[in-house]
Structure 1
């Protein structure tokens, strides 16, 4: 019994410690990127998306985190906290391609918003241009030509002229 109590007392400080501080020794790159993300500023930590990962942290490194979302799971994961945006994305052509796994690299939340890091507008434009080469060339160098200038956020549907 005293041994169990000692283990419990030793675990309490670790449990109250910010998850990103626990993750940083092995995942320093991801934690550094995450510190630029708006979720970090709102005091969210790794376990908000990856789960508490107790087994992962206490293992020798062989166990995976509790949750690493597959591409088609990302919109539902993000939609748990952002339901309006999740519903809008679910109605998009990109979501349809992602869900039927026709295009496993189809855009999802992390494409525009970043997974661990915040994304600049120029990065978003390049991401769209990877698949939409003809449009990227057509609008190249035009200041007014920003994807989100004509396409609705989250659904990415073209605005009606």
Structure 2
């Protein structure tokens, strides 16, 4: 009886696969920790490693036990959700020493812009400033109380909070329009913007004040029949109000 003989190239390939599998098994036994898999896809001994690490953060509750007056102020302010140690740094040593070790008190001007420096990726309405233009040379805490950072006076310009929209609008055809041309702004919005929202246009007629063919606006402004233009769609379904393109 004649036995089938494997081609030499297949024999070499099988030997190679066998060597790879053996090396993998040996390497796994060497490099994979013995406790891996005890609690699932996790190294069980890592729990002990974490326990051995020194605790640096005390937690906000520890701060409130002594600084209840500051907690009372902060709990009603815009910074109520900001943990104390975000600004003051790890404070476990301060708590353990009974106050002998003072936590960090950020007074430098470049600290607050970490959150409040202008960044277009931040949400609309989040207070932002262009640091180089906003009270140059003055420390933030000389005007703003960190635990209750209400502005010392009501912002006169919408750009104080809506910097991204303002920057976009200033290079558009709507640069000369006041925000209140399209938005209704309650007086309370300036003092407490998050609880008193600005009114936004809800009908085509708002745009029609300038762009309807019968509007009494400058001749160079693009005109349409506001009732039929766009059909069932509203103007801002196609045009971005703060930077509307002009079709010629």
Specify the structure having the higher radius of gyration (Cα).
2
More helix as a share of residues: 1
Which TM-score applies when normalising by structure 2? 0.34
Greater relative contact order (Cα 8 A, min sep 6): structure 1 or 2? 1
Which TM-score applies when normalising by structure 1? 0.49
